[in-house]
């Protein structure tokens, strides 16, 4: 009987497996986009541009949000529910602030004349960062669900899987943002 239990514990939870398949797909998509960016930048009509400093500030915010989510995971495991709830609130607010800062960054680009259809280099920027923004918004929605569960009086089980799935995804979009920012600074 204990062998069966041990075998079941070695298996990956279906939600985690699904997440990792999704993460692999997203990595492949962004690898393709950044590869195409590198190829296209050798065209004669390619225009280089500087990113607004707002994108750097938003990077600090998303890194802090990953740290607060890590701490909330730790608090949940230690059954410190008040601390867990506070850290979930902080992470959600930081996620929303990141999205707002990204919108401000895109508006600053637009005001500089860096618009979606003006040049192929600008189009790539909007497609790559826009797709990342959609993934971040999906993460914020997941954080809203986590927030709702944290403060729900109906749910009283201590299932760590949803928190682990959301944490993994959030840390992934954080790392993806850092990669994209560094990529866009180094490969112009």
38 within some domain: no
Could you tell me how far CA 9 lies from the centroid of its own chain? 28
pLDDT confidence of residue 143: 95
12 within some domain: no
For residue range 167-182, list pLDDT tens digits in order. Answer: 999 999 999 999 999 9
Domain that holds residue 65: 53-186
135 within some domain: yes
Please report which confidence band the pLDDT of residue 7 belongs to, taking 50, 70 and 90 as the band edges: low
| Residue whose C-alpha is closest to residue 90's, from 57, 60, 65, 58 | 65
16 within some domain: no
CATH number at residue 64: 1.20.120.80
75 within some domain: yes
143 within some domain: yes
122 within some domain: yes
pLDDT confidence of residue 160: 87
Split into its structural domains, the chain has a count of 1
């Amino acid at each position: 009987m204990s062998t069966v239990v041990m075998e079941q514990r070695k298996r990956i939870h279906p939600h985690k497996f699904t997440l990792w398949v999704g993460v692999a797909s997203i990595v492949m998509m962004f690898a393709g986009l950044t590869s195409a960016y590198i190829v296209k930048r050798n065209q004669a009509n390619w225009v280089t541009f500087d990113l607004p400093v707002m994108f750097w500030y938003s990077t600090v915010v998303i890194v802090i949000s990953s740290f607060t989510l890590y701490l909330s995971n730790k608090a949940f495991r230690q059954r410190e529910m008040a601390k867990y709830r506070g850290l979930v609130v902080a992470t959600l607010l930081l996620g929303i602030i990141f999205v707002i800062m990204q919108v401000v960054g895109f508006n600053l680009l637009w005001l500089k004349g860096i618009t979606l259809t003006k040049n192929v280099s600008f189009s790539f920027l909007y497609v790559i960062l826009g797709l990342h923004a959609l993934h971040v918004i999906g993460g914020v929605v997941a954080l809203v669900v986590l927030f709702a569960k944290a403060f729900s009086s109906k749910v009283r089980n201590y299932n760590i899987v949803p928190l682990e799935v959301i944490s993994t995804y959030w840390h992934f979009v954080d790392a993806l943002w850092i990669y994209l920012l560094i990529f866009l600074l180094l490969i112009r």
